[in-house]
Amino acid sequence: MLSLYLPALLVALVITMVEMTEVVAVVFALAPASGSVGHGAAGAVAGTTVVGVIAFVSGAALLALPRADLLWGASLTLFAFGIFLFRSTLRAFRRDRARSAGAPSPSPGTYRALQFAGGFSVGAVEATEAVIVLLALAAAGYGFSAIVGALVGGAALAAIAFAVHQEIRRIKVLTLRWGATSLLFTFAVFWSGEAAGLAWPLGDAFLVVLFLIALLIVRGAVESGLRLDIRVKANG
Domain boundaries, the chain: 6-235
On whether the CB atoms of residues 51 and 127 are closer than 8 A, the answer is yes
CB atoms within 10 A of CB 165: 15
Query: For 126-160, what is each residue's pLDDT tens digit?
Result: 787 777 777 767 766 677 888 888 889 888 887 87
Q: pTM above the 0.85 mark?
A: no
User: 70 pLDDT band (50/70/90 cuts)?
Assistant: low
On whether the CB atoms of residues 180 and 32 are closer than 8 A, the answer is yes
**Does the pLDDT of residue 101 top 50, yes or no?**
no
3-state class percentages of the chain: helix first, strand second, coil last, to nearest 5: 85, 0, 15
- C-alpha distance from residue 27 to each of 13, 149, 161 (Å): 21, 23, 10
Phi, psi angle pair for 172, to nearest 5°: -55, 135
